[in-house]
Amino acid sequence: MERIPLEQRLPSRKHKEIFDQIRKAGTVSKIDLLERSGLTGSTLTRTLEELTAQGLILEAGFGESTGGRRPILYKPNSEYGYVFGLDISRIHTRLCLFDLQLNKLDAKQWLMTESLTPQVLLDQIITSAQGMLTARRLQADQVLGMGIGAVGPLDREAGILLDPLYFPTAGWSNLNIKALLEARLGLPVLLDNGANTALLGESWMDRDRDYRHLLYVHAGVGIRSAMMTGGKLVYGAVDMEGSIGQMIIQTDGARLWGQGNFGALESYASIHAIELQAQSRLKQGRDSLLLRIERDPDKIQFAHLQQAIQEHDPLTVELFTQAATYFGIGLSNLLNILHPEKVILGGALIGSHPGFFHIATRVAIQRTYYYPKYQVVFSLGSLGEEALVTGAALMVVDKLTEL
């Protein structure tokens, strides 16, 4: 049986707008919908009846009376359909199964190692996805699709990973992941870069606020960013996810991995940059708890640094403080150019220690040109490392209300 495209499942603009209002509110009264929609009472009633008959919404009892009859409440039918979210990152890959309201039902995570080639990983993703459906006695036709948030650069329209950097194994370049998964799963698949999907996820969790301009910055192996204005993601002529990592903050500075710009931000404020700094200082003779965790400086990795920072090792604290300071400088440049109302920071480096967030945001504010007249809200977000996979799933659900 041929699938109806998601954007064609709702018959008209008014159906899409009413359903969108209901799913974002969670539970809403007919009176509130009447005020928000601008529809006549009879048109709204007919639209609600049609959405109910289609199984997209449910009556949810009655609200409090304001003098007349108690208003009917409506809510989304979370069991109307299910959706997969997939986050392909350099350290971990996550697969989650959600219901229509983005409630997580099941999850699987993989550590990205040299043995996890694209073919091996995709086989395991497909097996896990099918296992999740079987465990819940769900059929493939109950699944709306799969959204993927992946490391860029990528071609989101063609569904191709172009040349993602820093993966522990080869084979990811020019990978048509959309076509491969669609053929194996029989589901529509959408692709975007992970920073964009993370921002989608966080904005969904913050949907009761009226932020017009949102910025998301993810600091880990690399530095990734996304911007949203007026509730819509901002796209450039090419995939922009890793562009701020190449922001030059010291013209005669180092170059990470032997490529990119000299003195780029990610050469000073990324996981690999801190690893290299730690290895260099230890070879120079600096004393550190790190040498009691791992005696060979060349084998120092981020996991060792995380252990040492938790134990307040002076050298490790110094390295994280330096990286946070550089990151704050880069962040101030973004604030001075983009002027977002809210900045959400995520990624393994941001979450490694509370001090990183506080140092970086303090440095950024000190260098913001219009401060204190221009006030920006900084946040660690609500979803943490699950922001990417949640936003990936949300991409699919959003297709239902796409005009």
Quote the domain boundaries for residue 394. Answer: 82-201+388-401
Helices (H) and strands (E) in the chain, counts: 12, 15
Residue that finishes a domain, picked among 76, 95, 126 = 76
Residue that finishes a domain, picked among 36, 54, 76 = 76
Q: What is the mean pLDDT of the chain?
A: 91
244 & 135 share domain: no
Residue 9: count other Cβ atoms within 10 Å of its Cβ.
19
Q: How far apart are CA 306 and CA 352, in angstroms?
A: 6
The structure's pTM equals 0.90
Cβ within 8 Å of residue 156, ≥6 positions away: 190, 191, 192, 193, 239
Question: Count of domains in the chain?
Answer: 3
Check residue 83 and report its DSSP letter.
Answer: E
175 & 319 share domain: no
**CA nearest to 241, candidates 13, 34, 89:** 89
**CA nearest to 164, candidates 146, 180, 148, 187:** 148
Cβ within 8 Å of residue 402, ≥6 positions away: 6, 7, 16
CATH code of the domain covering residue 190: 3.30.420.40
Side chain identity at residue 148, one-letter code:
I
Which ranges constitute the DSSP H helices of 111-176? Answer: 118-135
Q: Which residue has the tokens 């990470």?
A: 256
pLDDT tens column, 49-103: 999 999 999 988 887 766 667 888 999 999 999 999 999 998 899 999 999 999 9
**CA nearest to 346, candidates 201, 243, 240:** 201
Task: Work out the average pLDDT over 254-259.
Answer: 81
Q: Is residue 1 part of a domain?
A: no
pLDDT the model gives residue 244: 86
pLDDT the model gives residue 124: 97
**CA nearest to 356, candidates 396, 299, 391, 305:** 305
